[in-house]
Structure 1
Amino acid sequence: MSGQPMPCSPQEIGSMFLFEKLTPKQLGRLCCEGRVEKFEPGPVYTEGEPATCFYMMLGGTVVLSRRVGGDDVEVTRTSQRGVYAGAMQAYLGDRVRQVYNNSMRVTEPTRFFVLPADTFASVMSEWFPMAVHLLEGLFFGQKSAQLAINQRERLLALGSLSAGLTHELNNPAAAAVRATATLRERVAKMRRKLAVIAEGPFSRETLATLIEIQERTAERVAKAPVLSPLEASDREDVLTDWLEDQGIGYGWQLAPTFVQAGLDVDWLEQVAAAVGEEILPNAVGWLNYTIETELLMNEIEDSTTRISHLVDAAKQYSQLDRAPYQVADVHELLDSTLLMLSAKIGQRIEVVREYDRTLPKIPAYPAELNQVWTNLIDNAVAAMNGAGGEGTLTVRTARDNDRLLVEFQDTGHGVPPEIRDRIFDPFFTTKPVGEGTGLGLDISWRIVVDKHHGSLRVESVPGDTRFQVLLPLKAADPDDTPLTPPEPDTTEEQA
């Protein structure tokens, strides 16, 4: 926006602390290439717009605000003459995206000295070359340091997750290896038992009946009910008695397998009636091997399916095969993160999911949201470990007007009121030396607030701490939606 043009006085702008050391010739150039404008109450410029001007307030009241989610949050209000804002990084040129980092408005008629961004960049380079080099070095040095720190934080999280994932993969993999070795042994015994049966004086019809029983037994295994320990024990006793009555002295060894497969006395009575008394012991032994092979194959299938799910979760978590910016289901992201962190969470912490599955997918950077979930879950687990190692982690999603709420609630010791305002500061940590970088919440804040235009807040009392992430349900305007990580804000607005 532009205000009402007014005369520019070199003496007036020279009285401002920023320009007080300039020569009359330099002040004359500023007045010649710049201008004085009077703005009525209202907006002067808006965050995200191209930064075309540098503003110095000559008199009035100015308010600076930042966009957080769908709200404008006031960060500065002042009536001090000489404060400045606007295109403060113009001296960096095209190396940095030149947009306003905040919104500025005035609450009363206010005069500004307005300098075009290209003039500001030119006079900085000509009049203060050493200062410009120092500022450039500070800006890009801090930018590189911030990127390196962020990368280290990600690597630390990756190392922790890799250890957990290795542990999670090892269990089903070892189970599959054991089941495969046992299966090979059982199949060999089945072949020998079948050879014994085939060499006996049994008719073709009897053998066909036995094969049919085997098929029906395999089908029954697939439909076996899940029994309580007490129910299983009672059925095993009944089957053991029946097998011993049939002269099968090792029935106590077969009974647990038959019960696991869902077989009962009625089923064995049908088998006995079909094959005859003389073949029954061999037939029962053969069916036992059939059941064991089916159960072992089920175990192998379960183990390999578990491995597949873990690999899928790792891919979902890392988003290695996905576009950086996409429409994502936060519940899939939360589940993959919880699975990846299951080893760290442990058995003593109960995880409760309270998801509103009706919530729509949202435009987001999924890999970076997973990093936010990781940081918040890690903090919650650490808080509960510090409070005895037991507790409940509740992950909740809900709609909050035009935003999506993701809440992490833990039953740990809480965040003391005296440090609550500092927990999002870089390098602030309550963890012991060597256990925390103090960057987890700072990075989470940047991802949620700066990159997703959301908000991150905390509510805490002992035994009930809630970190709440609020994300827009819809994307921002295309021109304002960052498709690359935002530049670190290493300069401070002076207004």
Structure 2
Amino acid sequence: MSGQLMPCSPQEISTLFLFEKLDQEQLGRLCRDGRVERFEPGPVYTEGDPATCFYVMLEGTVVLSHRVGGDDVEVGRTSQRGVYAGAMQAYLGDRVRQAYNQSLRVTEPTRFFVLSADTFADIMQEWFPMATHLLEGLFFGSKNMQRAIGQRERLLALGSLSAGLTHELNNPAAASVRATAALRERVAKMRHKLSVIAAGPYSREALVGLIEIQERTAELVAKAPTLSPLEAADREDVISDWLDDHGIPDGWRLAPTFVQAGLDVDWLDQVAAAVDEEVLPGAVGWLNYTVETELLMDEIDDSTTRISRLVDAAKQYSQLDRAPYQVADVHELLDSTLLMLSGKFGERIRVVKEYDRTLPRVPAYPAELNQVWTNLIDNAVSAINSVGGEGTLTVRTALENDQLLVEFGDTGAGVPQEIRGRIFDPFFTTKPVGEGTGLGLDISWRIVVNKHHGSIEVESVPGDTRFRILLPLTAADPDTTPEEAV
């Protein structure tokens, strides 16, 4: 937007702190190559447009805003003479994208001294060559440092996740090994018992009936209900009594296995009806091995399924086999992160999921959002541990103002009011030395705000802290890194 051109006075611009050390010749050049413009209330330039001018305010009031999702959020308002904005990185040339990082508007008639971006870059290079080199070094050095810090933070998170994943994988793997060893033993005993039965006084019809019962038993084990401890104890007593009444030794030892498999006295009556009384103990013993074998195979199946789920969660979390930018289901990302971090929760931290499954998939960088979830969950666990290690982590999703909300709530100590405005600052941490880098929330803020054009905020009282992330439902602009403009 263009303003009304006005006379440029070297004397007036010499009173601006940017130019107060310049000589008359330099001031004269600024007025020759630059201009003074007067803008009525309204926009001066818009975020994302090519950065063509450098603005220094002579008088008036300016407001800077940054686009977050579909909204323009005010980030600065001032009436101080000499504040500047616009093409401040023009001296870097084509090495960076020359676009306005925020929107600028004025709330009253405002005059600016204006330099074109090319003129500003030439003057910087000609008048301040050393300062220009220093600024270039600071700019690119800061970018490299941020990149290195981000990689370091991801490595720290990966190390923590790897330790947790190793622990989580070890449990089902060990269970599978134990079950496999027990299964080998049970199958050997089953073969022995079968040879004993074959040598006994069984008729062909009895053996056929027994094998049919074995098949039905295997089907019953697969459908075994989950019983409360009290229900299981009652059933064990009934089955133990039945076994004792029918002269089967060690009924107390067999009863828990039969109950776990969902078998009852009706099933035992079918077994008793299929064979003669003198061979009933051998038949029940053989069927017990069948039951134990089925239960062990179920345990192996459960263990290997859990290992598979953990591996899938690791792939989902790392996004190694997927495009960096894609349309993603946040619930899949949240579930994979929670599963990867489950080793940190223990039995004293309860995880509650309040998902709105009707929410649409959103355009995102999934691997980086997983890093945000990791940082926030890790902070929540630390907060809960700080008050005794027992509490609740609540993860909620919802639609809010046409944006997707992801909220992490914990029952920890809370974030004190006096530091709430600093928690997203780089290197600020409340954790003990050696336990936190102070970069987790800073990196999370950059990922949510800069890369996804979303927002992140915290609401906290002791016992109820909530980190709220809002993500746009539509495609974000290309990756940008806004800088301070005033």
TM-score (norm. length: structure 2): 0.96
Please state if 1:184 is matched with 2:176: no
Give, in whole Å, the separation in 2 of the partners of 1:227 and 1:73: 56
Q: Which of 468, 481, 493 is the matching residue for 2:485?
A: 493
User: Which residue of structure 2 lines up, in the alignment, with residue 452 of structure 1?
Assistant: 452
User: Which residue of structure 2 lines up, in the alignment, with residue 112 of structure 1?
Assistant: 112
**Alignment length, in residue pairs?**
486
Q: Deviations over 1:57-85 (max 9, x none)?
A: 22222221222333322222223332211
1:29-44 aligned at under 5 Å gives the runs 29-44=29-44
1:367-382 aligned at under 5 Å gives the runs 367-382=367-382
Instruction: Indicate if the aligned counterparts of 1:143 and 1:487 stay in contact, CA closer than 8 A.
Output: no
Instruction: Indicate if the aligned counterparts of 2:57 and 2:82 stay in contact, CA closer than 8 A.
Output: yes
User: Which residue of structure 2 lines up, in the alignment, with residue 121 of structure 1?
Assistant: 121
Displacement of 1:232 after TM fit?
1.5
Give, in whole Å, the separation in 1 of the partners of 2:261 and 2:485: 72
Instruction: Indicate if the aligned counterparts of 2:41 and 2:106 stay in contact, CA closer than 8 A.
Output: yes
Give, in whole Å, the separation in 1 of the partners of 2:261 and 2:269: 16
Give, in whole Å, the separation in 2 of the partners of 1:379 and 1:202: 67
Which residue identity does 2:456 align to in structure 1? L
Residue 425 of structure 1 aligns to a residue whose secondary structure is: coil
Instruction: Indicate if the aligned counterparts of 1:143 and 1:488 stay in contact, CA closer than 8 A.
Output: no
Which residue identity does 2:475 align to in structure 1? A
Which residue identity does 1:48 align to in structure 2? G
Please state if 1:22 is matched with 2:41: no
List gaps (5 residues or longer) in structure 2. none
Residue 131 of structure 1 aligns to a residue whose secondary structure is: helix
Displacement of 1:30 after TM fit?
3.1
Please state if 1:229 is matched with 2:229: yes
Please state if 1:203 is matched with 2:203: yes
User: Which residue of structure 1 lines up, in the alignment, with residue 404 of structure 2?
Assistant: 404
Give, in whole Å, the separation in 1 of the partners of 2:426 and 2:365: 22
Give, in whole Å, the separation in 2 of the partners of 1:278 and 1:133: 100
Q: Deviations over 1:397-432 (max 9, x none)?
A: 121121122111111111111111111111111111
1:77-116 aligned at under 5 Å gives the runs 77-116=77-116
Displacement of 1:28 after TM fit?
3.8
Give, in whole Å, the separation in 2 of the partners of 1:288 and 1:103: 77
1:279-298 aligned at under 5 Å gives the runs 279-298=279-298
Displacement of 1:24 after TM fit?
4.0
TM-score (norm. length: structure 1): 0.94
Displacement of 1:54 after TM fit?
1.0
Question: Structure 1 residues 226, 80: closer, same or farther in 2, change over 3 A?
Answer: closer
1:305-344 aligned at under 5 Å gives the runs 305-344=305-344
Residue 421 of structure 1 aligns to a residue whose secondary structure is: helix
Give, in whole Å, the separation in 1 of the partners of 2:17 and 2:222: 84
Give, in whole Å, the separation in 1 of the partners of 2:352 and 2:266: 43
Question: Larger deviation: 172-181 or 366-375?
Answer: 366-375
Please state if 1:168 is matched with 2:168: yes
User: Which residue of structure 2 lines up, in the alignment, with residue 150 of structure 1?
Assistant: 150
List gaps (5 residues or longer) in structure 1. none
Q: Deviations over 1:319-344 (max 9, x none)?
A: 11221111111121111111111111
Give, in whole Å, the separation in 2 of the partners of 1:428 and 1:316: 30
Please state if 1:436 is matched with 2:436: yes
Which residue identity does 1:186 align to in structure 2? R
User: Which residue of structure 2 lines up, in the alignment, with residue 5 of structure 1?
Assistant: 5
Give, in whole Å, the separation in 1 of the partners of 2:194 and 2:110: 99
Displacement of 1:165 after TM fit?
1.0
Give, in whole Å, the separation in 2 of the partners of 1:267 and 1:80: 89
User: Which residue of structure 2 lines up, in the alignment, with residue 73 of structure 1?
Assistant: 73
Give, in whole Å, the separation in 1 of the partners of 2:238 and 2:73: 73
Question: Larger deviation: 183-192 or 227-236?
Answer: 227-236
Give, in whole Å, the separation in 2 of the partners of 1:29 and 1:258: 97
Question: Larger deviation: 154-163 or 300-309?
Answer: 154-163
Question: Structure 1 residues 239, 39: closer, same or farther in 2, change over 3 A?
Answer: same
Give, in whole Å, the separation in 2 of the partners of 1:64 and 1:226: 62
Instruction: Indicate if the aligned counterparts of 1:2 and 1:44 stay in contact, CA closer than 8 A.
Output: yes
Give, in whole Å, the separation in 1 of the partners of 2:247 and 2:384: 58
Root-mean-square deviation over aligned CA pairs = 1.7
Give, in whole Å, the separation in 2 of the partners of 1:16 and 1:262: 87
Residue 424 of structure 1 aligns to a residue whose secondary structure is: coil
User: Which residue of structure 2 lines up, in the alignment, with residue 427 of structure 1?
Assistant: 427
Question: Larger deviation: 10-19 or 226-235?
Answer: 10-19
Displacement of 1:23 after TM fit?
4.1
Which residue identity does 2:39 align to in structure 1? F
Give, in whole Å, the separation in 2 of the partners of 1:345 and 1:205: 56
Identity %: 82
User: Which residue of structure 1 lines up, in the alignment, with residue 469 of structure 2?
Assistant: 469
Residue 279 of structure 1 aligns to a residue whose secondary structure is: helix
Instruction: Indicate if the aligned counterparts of 2:7 and 2:36 stay in contact, CA closer than 8 A.
Output: yes
Give, in whole Å, the separation in 2 of the partners of 1:78 and 1:305: 60
